[in-house]
């Protein structure tokens, strides 16, 4: 049975956030993802004999899961380039590789900034070991598997004191962690110690969550608790996740209801090559759902480009600023409209020796359609090869559904 499409995920960092807490919270809420995660981790290049554990536990009276990694051969340090090479050489799916590499790059850029060195000279210590590698790869897999368009997070506990690192004692939050958390809401709950780890901060920086859930009505479909390693006085050391779906959605409805922000503007004074680059940068943003352009005749009979951008209402201010930064338009018109969207999910399948992402949608009358991602087909040499790969990937995606995966 296909999992219900999610509209939003909200994180409550009651005890803080670390990579292992993030992974455990998601798996507690969506245990159906555990088998796929274990298979992906087997392809990550972990040394023989490594042990990945998911154990029920309690913190402050709250039941949840602990995500634990045991690796005998654990490197003590490594460069960003070496870790990215390890990712590239692994048999991980391409979407997971890209997401994990992006998280590591955020860590590298933060470390480079706080130490005043080029990013290629950054030398990881605590976050170069296999524990952190597994946490980041697992987080990347789960983010891709959830396919959720938006995230939010409550205020993060600031913590206090110092933390021991390879550079000596550093204040909490550690300098690179504090840089990654720039713009996030924080709160001092009076409890000492490190409450947000560098890995947890890098995952949040990659997700770029809003500071509060969307204003529209949503339904809670599942909750999960990822537990930290220590007990905290007076509160559970837990990260809670809420999985939310559209409030109007019914189990047997082919379409979900929702709202989307529509941003429109025209450009008549920007060189075509420059405009194309700006629109491509807009299209690549995680908070942009879709972008299209078409020719129009503007004032004084000048040929212009009309642009329409779709995003979630929670992201409208950030997307509007990006539109004004990437193009020469002087204004953006914004409206929020109702929409109906088919229940859908993106799965990664193996076809002809390649990992291909395929979008599956449930259409009226129960018909299931499958469409392979063009970006994953583009590496094939010619149109005939791309067509064969597309058919094989889409058939594999439909077969997986029929098997109930």
- Angle value at C-alpha 6, between 336 and 311, nearest 5 degrees: 30
- For 45, the token pair is 């290049």
The domain locations on the chain are 8-246, 256-331, 342-402
Of 10 and 79, more confident: 10
Omega into 245 within 30° of 0, i.e. cis? no
CATH architecture assignment, domain 256-331: 2-Layer Sandwich (3.30)
CB 259 within 8 A of CB 231: no
Checking if the pLDDT of 127 tops 80, the result is no
The length of the chain is 405
Checking if the pLDDT of 249 tops 50, the result is no
Q: Cα-Cα-Cα-Cα dihedral of 244, 248, 252, 256, to 10°?
A: -80
Q: What is the mean pLDDT of residues 287-304?
A: 92
- What backbone torsions phi and psi does residue 121 show, to the nearest 5 degrees? -95, 0
> Tens digits of per-residue pLDDT, 203-244?
999 999 999 888 778 999 999 999 999 999 989 999 999 999
Residue with tokens 């690179």: 176
> Tens digits of per-residue pLDDT, 77-96?
578 888 888 899 999 999 99
């Amino acid at each position: 049975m296909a999992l219900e499409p999610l509209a939003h995920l909200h994180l409550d960092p009651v005890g803080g956030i670390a990579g292992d807490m993030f992974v455990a919270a998601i798996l507690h809420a969506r245990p159906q993802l555990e088998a796929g995660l274990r298979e992906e981790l087997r392809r990550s290049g972990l040394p023989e004999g490594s042990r990945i554990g998911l154990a029920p536990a309690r913190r402050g009276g709250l039941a949840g899961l602990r995500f634990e990694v045991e690796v005998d051969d654990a490197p003590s340090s490594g460069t960003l380039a070496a870790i990215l090479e390890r990712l590239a050489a692994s048999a991980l799916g391409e979407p997971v590789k890209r997401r994990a590499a992006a998280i590591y790059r955020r860590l590298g850029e933060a470390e480079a900034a706080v130490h005043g060195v080029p990013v290629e000279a950054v030398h990881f210590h605590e976050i170069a070991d296999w524990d952190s590698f597994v946490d980041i790869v697992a987080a990347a897999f789960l983010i891709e598997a959830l396919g959720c368009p938006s995230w939010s997070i409550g205020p993060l506990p600031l913590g206090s004191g110092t933390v021991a690192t390879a550079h000596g004692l550093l204040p909490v939050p550690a300098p690179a962690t504090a840089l990654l958390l720039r713009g996030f809401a924080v709160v001092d709950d009076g409890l000492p110690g490190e409450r947000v780890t560098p890995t947890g901060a890098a995952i949040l920086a990659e997700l770029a969550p809003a500071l509060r859930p969307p204003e529209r009505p949503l339904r809670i479909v599942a909750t999960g608790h990822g537990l930290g390693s220590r007990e905290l006085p007076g509160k559970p050391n837990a990260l809670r996740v809420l999985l939310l779906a559209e409030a109007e959605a019914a189990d047997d409805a082919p379409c979900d209801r929702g709202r989307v922000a529509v941003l429109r503007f025209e450009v008549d004074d920007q060189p075509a090559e420059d405009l194309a680059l700006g629109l491509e940068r807009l299209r690549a943003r995680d908070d942009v759902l879709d972008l299209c352009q078409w020719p129009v005749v503007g004032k004084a009979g000048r040929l212009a480009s009309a642009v329409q951008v779709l995003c979630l209402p929670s992201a409208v201010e950030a997307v509007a600023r990006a539109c004004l930064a990437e193009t020469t338009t002087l204004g953006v018109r914004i409206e929020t409209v109702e929409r109906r969207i088919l229940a859908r999910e993106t799965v990664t399948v193996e076809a002809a020796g390649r990992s291909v992402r395929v979008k599956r949608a449930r259409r009226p009358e129960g018909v299931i359609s499958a469409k392979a991602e063009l970006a994953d087909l583009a590496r094939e040499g010619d149109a005939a090869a791309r067509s064969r790969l597309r058919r094989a990937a889409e058939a594999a995606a439909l077969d997986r559904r029929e098997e109930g995966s």
